């Protein structure tokens, strides 16, 4: 039975405050009624309502009352504790009261926003408030834990977001480990030719940053590497990085590529990943000329020596620095870091899942990423836009929203496709002089200079047809359609179905979470939103933080984003990390568990339950012991202790029982038992 | 496993040959089936358009009957070969599952006749049964007269795959392709697999319907197909019976055989043509027979 | 208590224990998305579903709740690695106990709801309220007071025979059941 025995503390003097939150709460909950009701509850000294409790005057109201009436418990009924618990705790502390005497009731997200009936909402709010009043009786003063922050930072992903974050932090004098899965950093941006809307060359602005990363004394760049394991908590993470074997000693290789020339394969014959299979490479290769680090690597799946061990190994002979080591194995590095930035990027939608557009069926249907490579001077066609037959197309159709804004695939707008489609339209026209048709649902070009770019394209004579393309087909209805691809679309501005024959089709594929996003999410203990992108702590006010302290996100892993947005977010994440490092320490919630030795029977039930091995068994006293530095405060051991000897701060049994009884005591019909229970509680 | 066979109206009338060939194939492949007792109209597209609730009751009654008939069985598989029936039953199942209010109305109506729909019945298309329950291996084992040299274009039409199909890709279905590949035929790939055949507009607005049928026939012929196979009585009828009208209108000479997929499969299984209802076709599929007997492609 | 009176006034009372990281956040999302759901479920926030002591559930029912909903992260997603598994284990055992006490399975429900599943919070709560409305009140406090009376009588008998001091109360009844 949860009865208040005072715990040797002062008799509760509760101050209760209910927030209108403008109309957010007051329009659905009868604030006045709740306030008056609460005033009548035992222990409540002050009960007030106010328009905005979180505002400065609201907080001052609490502080004034604490001083004036000697309040020793504060309950605020307003929004979610995830939003403002911290605000009110600070306010309570400023008035000289221990902040853990404060408790928050969520009557916005849990009541006013989700209830359609004013009376029901008010009743629910009253129940929740009563529970909180009963709960705070049992609150105790607690001391915050402070832990130091390790100033080293791990950044996962070497695309433009990761690169920018790494440079920002490194320039501030902090140590950064940049881990990239591919053999080179640069990410998707390295594959692009030009960037919208300024049409400046992607390589020209990216490669200087890539080499800055390589040469920065504060950055340790581990390409071709993956995080195997991460453990610890904010300020004190420990990560294991797997460095996959390149079969080339990175420190010795200078990227002269003599080995590639010397390979016994005179012709490149394996599909080149960087050019999306549109060109060939040898079993020993460098992803692209500006790859960073400038180190070659072997593909063991295609190298003869790995398959049969019978190669002449001309590559080894060619290397005068003895950098090739075919016996290399994966290396594991263990690092201690204080914070992590995830900038793992995106993948593009697989156009094969939209079979009506014929990707993979008709050779002249390309994805936008393939076209990016094609228009790139260092790409598979040396910058020429060519059909599979090797001819310049006379007409090209660009199909927008492939894998975006589609109930059947991805519902979201990928945000960048309209702009990159415009860019590609411009480049195709520039390279070939072809007629270019854009098929769009809506043109979405918000952004500085973006709408102007759209305008420029219209003046260049690119055609825009509003309508979702029904299919790309090779069946010809008229002579001009023979041997071409025909795009069937309803032109919704004219109101007719059109058939437009073209030589080449470009599918503007949307952006998706990476296939292993959910593994990464699990490893780093963060959440994903429904579509699978990493979930930010708050969509507006904490866009780069996650629900796990010390883990930040930047770039397209959080949602589709163009380059400027990714860079801005990377900067924001870097700033968050630096603010954490500069503070030097971080306060942790004191919600850890501890053992009351006199009740512990030494049964050891709790020990295997703890995922952090925080509980040990003291052989001398035959009692369990919790190392509070290791305890994360989940409370699993507390719930399991058969003798009730484990206590979790902030979530003590008495507090929860208090809440349960507070919720049920007067609710609904008054069944015989609950009446007596209530009385007992009052007597105590 | 026992399948409940739900014929619907078509397979007992204009689609008689579909029923004959389907059941002959079922027997040849040792598929255990029993016709649904006391079945009624599925409601088709017409009733759905007028009164959804009543149409749901009609369809749900068939499902409830199937569950009743196979009471005690672990699985209730109801095979609906007519594409309209298939679509309507699936639609009913989906809507009732998602809308408890409609479900209550339907259950109340069914209760009056002593029935209850428990949502247990699985609605299956014969293609689904052949490919997913039996599998290509089993099919090719049973083939007695492989369709060697025959160029087949599978035509699925709309309702078999859209929008509720549980076994097919809605934009690029492949089950019939796989089936006839297993039967030894040469499959002609095309993008017309699910285009509209004109449907019931052939009977009402021919100037809209005929061009729709025309593009399908024209494209099949252009791709040097010997036979179009269909899974729907309306598609089969439109594509086969209007060829002379289309020839006249578009000044062409189409002449292409259009068979139910079960008829062609039946021939491959060595079933005598007369048991497959071949004689009921409007024009004899001479071309198919000629090739199967080792002759030349007529339209190469 | 007159039967009609109960039917007229009675509304299911459900206590929910939501974990801070997934389900509570999902409930916040439901709020932000302005999804309307039944007001009968009242949430108690815990750090992890692993903190849900079976006593919380029993106490809730004994104090007059008609149902208890526990919300945790999906398997594998627990913020504390495996608290949700520990809860699942306990839940299965508790279900057996409750069954033997005549408490229907549907009254105590464990659901995995991730931070992004605001919609699921709504459907689960609405479904549960519907189900329990059909089951009717659990009325455990009333039953317990009857047990208490029996126990008191038993105690009197024992007291007169041998002088042993036991103190019966509702809580102990439930714990021992």
Are A656 and C13 inside 8 Å of each other by CB?
no
Give residue A679's pLDDT: 38
- Whether A472 and A381 map to the same domain: the answer is yes
Chains that touch A (3 or more CB pairs under 8 A): B, C
Are C116 and A1 inside 8 Å of each other by CB?
no
Are A354 and B215 inside 8 Å of each other by CB?
no
- Whether C94 and C110 map to the same domain: the answer is yes
Q: Is residue A109 part of a domain?
A: yes
Q: Enumerate residues 6+ apart whose C-beta is below 8 A from A619.
A: none
- Whether C106 and C158 map to the same domain: the answer is no
Contact A261, A318 (CB under 8 A): yes
Report percent pLDDT > 90 for chain A.
86
Which chain B residues are within 8 Å of A477, Cβ to Cβ? 215
Are A633 and C47 inside 8 Å of each other by CB?
yes
Q: What is the H or E stretch that residue A297 is in?
A: strand A297-298
> Which of C30, C56, C142 lies nearest to residue A656, judging by beta carbons?
C56
Give residue C3's pLDDT: 41
Nearest chain A residue to B222 by CA: give it: A475
| pLDDT mean across residues, chain A | 92
Residues in chain A, overall count = 684
d(CA C14, CA C28): 18
- Whether C148 and C164 map to the same domain: the answer is yes
Are C30 and A80 inside 8 Å of each other by CB?
no
Give residue A683's pLDDT: 39
Q: Strand, coil or helix: what is A203? A: helix
Which chain B residues are within 8 Å of A474, Cβ to Cβ? 191
Structure tokens at A41: 């509850």
Q: Which of A332, A154, A331, A155 has its CA nearest to residue A248?
A: A331
Q: Give mean pLDDT, residues A636-645.
A: 93
Q: How far is A393 from chain B (nearest CA, A)?
A: 23
- The model's pLDDT over A487-499, given as tens digits with 9 standing for 90+, comes to 999 999 999 999 9
Contact A327, A465 (CB under 8 A): no
Contact B152, B180 (CB under 8 A): yes
Residues from A contacting B (CB-CB < 8 Å) are: 354-356, 358, 361, 408, 471, 473-475, 477
Look at chain A and report how many structural domains it folds into.
5
Give residue A3's pLDDT: 42
Would the pLDDT of A669 be above 60?
no
Structure tokens at A117: 């009936």
Give residue B294's pLDDT: 76
- Whether A445 and A564 map to the same domain: the answer is no
Contact C135, C129 (CB under 8 A): no
Q: CB neighbours (10 Å) of residue A17?
A: 24
CB pairs under 8 A between A and C: 182
Q: Is residue A267 part of a domain?
A: yes
Which chain B residues are within 8 Å of A356, Cβ to Cβ? 171-172, 191
Residues in chain B, overall count = 300
Q: Strand, coil or helix: what is A471? A: strand
C37 touches chain A (CB under 8 A): yes
**Omega into B198 within 30° of 0, i.e. cis?**
no
Are B189 and A408 inside 8 Å of each other by CB?
no
Domain boundary among the residues A581, A607, A625 is at: A581
Would the pLDDT of A634 be above 70?
yes
Pairing of strands C14-19, C41-46: parallel
User: Could you tell me how many helices (H) and strands (E) chain C has, helices first?
Assistant: 7, 4
- Whether A368 and A480 map to the same domain: the answer is yes
Q: Enumerate residues 6+ apart whose C-beta is below 8 A from C42.
A: A124, A127, A128, A131, A663, C13, C14, C15, C16
Structure tokens at A104: 């928050």
DSSP A402: E
Structure tokens at B180: 């006839």
In which domain, by residue range, is A278 found?
A: 245-329
Are B190 and A475 inside 8 Å of each other by CB?
yes
Confidence band of A682 (pLDDT split at 50, 70, 90): very low
Confidence band of A358 (pLDDT split at 50, 70, 90): very high
Give residue A98's pLDDT: 94
Nearest chain A residue to B194 by CA: give it: A356
HSE toward the beta carbon, residue C111, CA cutoff 13 A? 28
Give the residue from B188, B189, B191 with the most A CB atoms within 10 Å of its CB, the best one to mutate: B191
Burial class (CB in 10 A: 0-12, 13-18, 19+), A106: buried
Give residue A5's pLDDT: 46
Give residue A357's pLDDT: 95
Report percent pLDDT > 70 for chain A.
96
Residues from B contacting A (CB-CB < 8 Å) are: 169-172, 189-192, 215, 219, 222
- Whether A486 and A523 map to the same domain: the answer is no
In which domain, by residue range, is C115 found?
A: 3-137
> Which of A355, A471, A477 lies nearest to residue B169, judging by beta carbons?
A355
Q: Is residue A566 part of a domain?
A: yes
Which chain A residues are within 8 Å of B192, Cβ to Cβ? 475
H helices present in chain B, as ranges: 16-28, 44-50, 52-69, 83-98, 100-112, 126-128, 136-142, 175-182, 201-204, 206-222, 233-241, 243-250, 261-268, 286-292
A684 touches chain C (CB under 8 A): no
d(CA A16, CA A33): 13
Q: Enumerate residues 6+ apart whose C-beta is below 8 A from A471.
A: A356, A357, A358, A487, A488, B191
Beta bridge pairs of residue B124: B79
- What domains lie within chain B, and their CATH numbers? 2-124 (1.20.1050.140), 136-292 (3.40.50.11810)
- Whether C68 and C85 map to the same domain: the answer is yes
- Whether A362 and A496 map to the same domain: the answer is yes
> Which of A355, A408, A475 lies nearest to residue B192, judging by beta carbons?
A475
- Whether A382 and A423 map to the same domain: the answer is yes
Domain boundary among the residues A144, A164, A190 is at: A144
- Whether A522 and A543 map to the same domain: the answer is yes
Confidence band of A641 (pLDDT split at 50, 70, 90): very high
C168 touches chain A (CB under 8 A): no
Domain boundary among the residues A144, A175, A194 is at: A144
CATH code (residue A314): 3.30.70
Give residue C60's pLDDT: 94
Give me the residue label for tokens 């009924």: A77
Give residue C5's pLDDT: 45
ipTM score assigned to the predicted complex? 0.86
Would the pLDDT of A208 be above 90?
yes
> Which of B169, B170, B191 lies nearest to residue A473, judging by beta carbons?
B191
Interface of C with A in 73-102 (CB under 8 A): 76-77, 79-83, 86-87, 90
Look at chain C and report how many structural domains it folds into.
2
- The model's pLDDT over B6-34, given as tens digits with 9 standing for 90+, comes to 999 999 999 999 999 999 999 999 999 99
Are A475 and B170 inside 8 Å of each other by CB?
no
What backbone torsions phi and psi does residue B79 show, to the nearest 5 degrees?
A: -95, 120
Which chain C residues are within 8 Å of A517, Cβ to Cβ? none
Give residue A8's pLDDT: 47
> Which of A611, A638, A660 lies nearest to residue C51, judging by beta carbons?
A638
Beta bridge pairs of residue B229: B154, B259
Give residue C168's pLDDT: 53
Are A474 and B191 inside 8 Å of each other by CB?
yes
- The model's pLDDT over A81-113, given as tens digits with 9 standing for 90+, comes to 988 999 999 999 999 999 999 999 999 999 999
Structure tokens at A491: 């032109």
- Whether C89 and C147 map to the same domain: the answer is no
CATH code (residue C107): 3.40.50
d(CA A604, CA A642): 10
Q: Give mean pLDDT, residues A104-124.
A: 95
> Which of A408, A471, A477 lies nearest to residue B191, judging by beta carbons?
A471
Q: Enumerate residues 6+ apart whose C-beta is below 8 A from A140.
A: A7, A9, A100, A649, A652
CATH code (residue A526): 3.50.50.60
Confidence band of B296 (pLDDT split at 50, 70, 90): low
- Whether A202 and A258 map to the same domain: the answer is no
Q: Enumerate residues 6+ apart whose C-beta is below 8 A from A388.
A: A363, A364
Q: Enumerate residues 6+ apart whose C-beta is below 8 A from A167.
A: A209, A212, A213, A216, A219
Q: Which of A114, A34, A115 has its CA nearest to residue A75?
A: A34
- Whether A535 and A408 map to the same domain: the answer is no
- Whether A644 and A499 map to the same domain: the answer is no
- The model's pLDDT over A564-601, given as tens digits with 9 standing for 90+, comes to 999 999 999 999 999 999 999 998 889 999 999 999 99
Are B171 and A356 inside 8 Å of each other by CB?
yes
Structure tokens at C11: 């509304």
Provide DSSP, B71-129.
TT-S--EEE--SHHHHHHHHHHHHHHHH-HHHHHHHHHHHHHTT----S-PEEE-HHHI
Give residue C77's pLDDT: 84
Contact C51, C77 (CB under 8 A): no
Query: CA A165, A167, A170: angle at the middle one, nearest 5?
Result: 105
- The model's pLDDT over A21-53, given as tens digits with 9 standing for 90+, comes to 999 999 999 999 999 999 999 899 999 999 999
- The model's pLDDT over A50-63, given as tens digits with 9 standing for 90+, comes to 999 999 999 999 99
HSE toward the beta carbon, residue A188, CA cutoff 13 A? 22
Which chain A residues are within 8 Å of C90, Cβ to Cβ? 639-640
Buried b (16+ CB within 10 A) or exposed e, A488-502: bbbeeeeeeeeebbb
CB pairs under 8 A between A and B: 20
Which chain A residues are within 8 Å of B190, Cβ to Cβ? 475
Tens digits of pLDDT across chain C (177 residues): 334 444 457 899 999 999 999 999 999 999 999 999 999 999 999 999 999 999 999 999 999 999 999 999 998 888 888 899 999 999 999 999 999 988 999 999 999 999 989 999 999 999 999 999 999 999 888 888 888 888 888 888 887 776 555 555 545 444 444
- Whether C127 and C58 map to the same domain: the answer is yes
Are C145 and A665 inside 8 Å of each other by CB?
no
Are A639 and C90 inside 8 Å of each other by CB?
yes
Give me the residue label for tokens 């294991």: A240
Contact C56, C168 (CB under 8 A): no
- Whether A384 and A430 map to the same domain: the answer is yes
Give residue C145's pLDDT: 85
Would the pLDDT of B235 be above 90?
yes
> Which of B171, B190, B192 lies nearest to residue A355, judging by beta carbons?
B171
- Whether C39 and C68 map to the same domain: the answer is yes
- Whether A192 and A227 map to the same domain: the answer is yes
């Amino acid at each position: 039975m949860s009865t208040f025995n005072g715990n040797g503390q002062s008799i509760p003097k509760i101050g209760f405050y209910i927030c209108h939150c403008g109309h957010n709460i007051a329009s659905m909950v009868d604030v006045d009624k709740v306030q008056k009701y609460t005033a009548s509850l035992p222990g409540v000294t002050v009960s007030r309502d106010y328009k905005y409790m979180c505002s400065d005057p609201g907080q001052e109201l609490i502080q004034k009352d604490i001083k004036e009436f000697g309040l020793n418990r504060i309950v605020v009924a307003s929004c979610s504790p995830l939003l403002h618990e911290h605000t009110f705790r600070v306010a309570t502390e400023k008035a000289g009261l221990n902040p853990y005497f404060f408790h928050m009731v969520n009557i916005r997200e849990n009541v006013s926003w989700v209830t359609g009936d004013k009376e029901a909402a008010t009743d629910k709010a009253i129940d929740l408030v009563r529970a909180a009043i009963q709960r705070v009786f049992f609150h105790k003063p607690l001391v915050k834990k402070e832990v130091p922050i390790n100033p080293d930072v791990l950044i996962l992903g070497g695309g433009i977001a990761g690169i920018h974050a790494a440079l920002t932090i490194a320039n501030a004098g902090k140590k950064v480990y940049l881990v990239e899965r591919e053999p080179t950093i640069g990410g998707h941006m390295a594959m692009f030719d030009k960037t919208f809307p300024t049409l400046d060359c992607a390589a020209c602005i990216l490669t200087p940053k890539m080499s800055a990363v390589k040469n920065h004394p504060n950055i340790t760049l581990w390409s071709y590497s993956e995080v195997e394991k991460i453990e610890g908590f904010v300020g004190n993470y420990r990560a294991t990085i797997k460095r996959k074997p390149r079969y080339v000693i990175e420190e010795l290789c200078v990227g002269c590529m003599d080995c590639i020339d010397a390979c016994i394969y005179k012709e490149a014959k394996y599909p080149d990943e960087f050019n999306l299979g549109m060109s060939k490479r040898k079993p020993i290769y460098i992803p692209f000329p500006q790859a960073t680090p400038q180190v070659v690597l072997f593909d063991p799946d295609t190298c003869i020596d790995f398959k049969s061990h019978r190669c002449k190994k001309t590559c080894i002979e060619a290397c005068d620095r003895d950098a090739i080591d075919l016996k290399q194995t994966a290396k594991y590095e263990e690092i201690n870091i204080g914070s992590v930035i995830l900038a793992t990027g995106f993948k593009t939608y697989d156009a094969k899942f939209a079979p009506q557009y014929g990707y993979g069926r008709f050779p002249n249907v390309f994805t936008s990423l393939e076209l990016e490579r094609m228009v790139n001077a260092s790409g598979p066609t040396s910058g020429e836009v060519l059909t599979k037959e090797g001819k310049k197309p006379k007409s090209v159709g660009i199909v927008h929203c492939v894998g975006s804004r589609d109930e059947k695939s991805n519902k979201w707008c990928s945000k960048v496709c309209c702009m990159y489609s415009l860019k590609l339209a411009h480049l195709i026209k520039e390279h070939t002089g072809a007629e270019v048709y854009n098929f769009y649902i809506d043109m979405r070009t918000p952004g500085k200079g973006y709408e102007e770019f759209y305008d420029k394209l219209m003046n260049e004579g690119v055609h825009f047809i509003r309508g979702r393309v029904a299919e790309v087909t090779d069946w010809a209805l008229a002579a001009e359609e023979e041997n071409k691809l025909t795009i069937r679309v309803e032109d919704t501005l004219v109101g007719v179905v059109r058939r437009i024959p073209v030589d080449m089709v470009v599918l503007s594929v949307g952006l998706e979470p990476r296939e292993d996003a959910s593994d990464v999410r699990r490893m780093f203990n963060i959440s994903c939103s429904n579509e699978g992108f990493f979930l930010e702590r708050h969509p507006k006010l904490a866009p780069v933080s996650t629900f796990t302290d010390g883990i930040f996100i930047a770039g397209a892993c959080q949602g589709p984003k163009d380059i400027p947005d990714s860079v801005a977010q990377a900067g924001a994440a870097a700033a968050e990390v630096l603010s954490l490092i500069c503070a030097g320490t971080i306060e942790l919630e004191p919600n850890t568990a501890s053992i009351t030795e006199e009740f512990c029977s030494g049964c050891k039930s709790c020990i295997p339950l703890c995922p952090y091995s925080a509980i040990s068994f003291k052989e001398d006293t035959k009692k369990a012991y919790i190392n509070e530095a290791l305890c994360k405060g989940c409370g699993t051991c507390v719930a399991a202790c058969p003798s009730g000897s484990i206590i979790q701060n902030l979530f003590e049994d008495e507090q929860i029982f208090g809440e349960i009884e507070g919720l049920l005591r007067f609710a609904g019909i008054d069944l015989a038992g609950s009446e007596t229970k209530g009385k007992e509680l009052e007597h105590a | 496993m026992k399948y409940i066979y739900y014929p619907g109206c078509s397979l007992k009338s204009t689609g008689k040959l579909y029923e004959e060939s389907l059941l002959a194939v079922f027997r040849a492949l040792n598929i255990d089936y029993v016709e649904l007792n006391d079945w009624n109209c599925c409601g088709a597209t017409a009733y759905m358009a007028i009164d959804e609730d009543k149409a749901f009751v009609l369809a749900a009654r068939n499902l409830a009957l199937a569950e009743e008939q196979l009471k005690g069985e672990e699985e209730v598989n109801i095979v609906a070969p007519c594409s309209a029936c298939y679509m309507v039953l699936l639609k009913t199942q989906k809507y009732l599952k998602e809308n408890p209010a409609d479900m209550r109305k339907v259950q109340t109506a069914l209760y009056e006749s002593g029935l209850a729909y428990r949502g247990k019945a699985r609605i299956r298309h014969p293609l689904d049964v052949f490919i997913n329950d039996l599998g290509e291996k089993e099919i090719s084992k049973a083939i007695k007269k492989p369709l060697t040299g025959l160029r087949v274009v599978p035509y699925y039409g709309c309702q078999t795959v859209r929008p509720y199909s549980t076994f097919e890709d809605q934009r690029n279905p492949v089950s019939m392709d796989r089936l006839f590949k297993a039967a030894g035929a040469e499959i002609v790939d095309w993008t017309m697999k699910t285009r509209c055949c004109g449907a019931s507009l052939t009977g009402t607005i021919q100037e809209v319907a005929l061009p729709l049928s025309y593009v399908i026939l024209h494209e099949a012929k252009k791709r040097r197909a010997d036979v179009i196979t269909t899974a729907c009585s309306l598609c089969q009828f439109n594509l086969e019976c209007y060829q002379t009208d289309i020839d006249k209108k578009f000044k062409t000479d189409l002449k292409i055989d259009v068979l139910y997929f079960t008829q062609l499969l039946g021939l491959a299984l060595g079933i005598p043509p007369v048991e497959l209802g071949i004689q009921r076709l409007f024009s004899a599929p001479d071309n198919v027979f000629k090739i199967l007997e080792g002759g030349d492609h007529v339209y190469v | 208590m007159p039967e009609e009176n109960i039917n007229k006034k009675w509304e299911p009372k459900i206590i929910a224990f939501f974990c801070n990281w997934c389900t509570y956040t999902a409930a916040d999302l439901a709020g932000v998305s302005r999804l309307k759901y039944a007001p009968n479920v009242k949430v108690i926030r815990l750090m992890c579903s692993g903190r849900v002591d079976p006593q919380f559930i029993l106490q809730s029912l004994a104090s007059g709740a008609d149902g208890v909903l526990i919300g945790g992260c999906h398997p594998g997603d627990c913020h504390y690695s495996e608290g949700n598994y520990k809860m699942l284990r306990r839940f299965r055992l508790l279900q057996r106990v409750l069954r033997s006490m005549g408490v229907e399975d549907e009254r105590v429900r464990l659901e995995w709801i991730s931070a992004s599943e605001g919609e699921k919070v709504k459907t689960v709560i609405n479904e549960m309220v519907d189900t329990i409305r059909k089951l009717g009140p659990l009325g455990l406090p009333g039953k317990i007071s009857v047990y208490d009376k029996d126990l008191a009588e038993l105690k009197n008998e024992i007291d007169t025979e041998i002088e042993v001091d036991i103190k019966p109360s509702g809580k102990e009844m439930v714990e021992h059941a």
